[in-house]
Amino acid sequence: SLSSVVTLANGVEMPRFGLGVYKSEAGEEVETAVRTALDTGYRKIDTASFYQNEESVGKAIRESRVDRGDLFITTKVWNDEQGYDETLKAFERSREKLGLEIVDLYLIHWPITETFQDTWKALETLYHDGKVRAIGVSNFHTKHIEKLIQSCDIQPMVNQVELHPWLNQQELHQYCKNKGIQIEAWSPLARGKKFGDPFIQEISRRYRKTEAQIILRWMLQKEIVTIPKSVTISRIQENADIFDFELTTEDLSAIDQLHTGERLGKNPDDID
Ligand code: NAD
């Protein structure tokens, strides 16, 4: 169901499915999206200081009747907010905008080479102080994680990366799995740019599910946490309607074969 969870390395439970709000405009647009999602049963929202909609996300959360304890809210420290002191300040800004006592998951948005180790120290402080329930990274490749692990006290619990059938991140996923780091997919629907693939369409017809639902279901069955974005009420509902069917092992591996390595977002290696 929509409330089903994965257990992170520190025992915290995180919903396997949630709403992304990148480019969802602050105000009415994102408030409606979050309200619709919560009414539909979503329990996890993924925002970032960079998205400039944390205040609206916080407002929509407060206005909903969902218990705070049932919600899982993620936000992220942006590139120009990194470094130890800067990150502590950035966190306070995010927390204030969201209007939350505690943030469920705080992520380093991108691995800025010069600062990400200091940034991580700040995340560890926030974790020790009980201001965040879990900490993690985003857009970290193996080399970034290796470097972080050399200097950290607490290992990241999550790595959120671009992941969809055309960039399935098999090696990074396996690496993270071995390290006890939960992988989470951003742009799970390839930003809507890959719909119409005849192969996914064929599967979609067989299961009587939409292409979006097939892709999201493939992720769930591969133990990838996912956060599709939409601001359209019917799509927010459609994307969540993936708990009443199961793809066969053959169909799962067939979708694995769609991988080409195509990226829609920035390559973390170009950040260095
Ligand atoms: P996405 O893959 O979720 O695609 C969203 C787009 O797909 C929508 O704008 C819409 O055009 C289309 N769409 C959604 N549902 C559909 C449906 N059912 N049918 C047809 N079209 C549909 O892209 P995204 O927003 O880039 O990624 C999801 C979330 O991941 C973001 O909102 C954000 O929270 C997060 N994210 C994180 C990073 C990062 O660096 N950590 C980067 C990008 C995104």
Average pLDDT value for residue range 210-214 = 98
Say yes or no to pLDDT of 59 above 80: yes
pLDDT tens digit sequence for 126-161: 999 999 999 999 999 999 999 999 999 999 999 999
Residue nearest to atom 9 of ligand 1 (CA): 230
Q: Is 42 a catalytic residue?
A: no
Ligand 1 pocket test: pick from 77, 200, 230 the residue with the most ligand atoms within 8 Å of its Cβ.
230
What is the number of domains present in the chain? 1
pTM score of the predicted model: 0.98
What value of ipTM does the predicted structure carry?
0.99
> Is 67 in contact with 38 (CB distance < 8 Å)?
no
Q: Could you tell me the CATH number of the domain that includes residue 68?
A: 3.20.20.100
Average pLDDT value for residue range 43-58 = 98
Structural domain of 72: 5-271
Average pLDDT value for residue range 8-23 = 98
Candidates 42, 51, 106, 127; catalytic one: 51
Residue nearest to atom 24 of ligand 1 (CA): 187
Q: State in Å: Cα 190 to ligand 1 middle.
A: 7
**Nearest-atom index, ligand 1, CA of 212:** 18
**Nearest-atom index, ligand 1, CA of 211:** 19
Q: Give the model's pLDDT for residue 272.
A: 60
Average pLDDT value for residue range 208-223 = 98
109 a known binding residue? yes
Per the prediction, the chain carries an average pLDDT of: 97
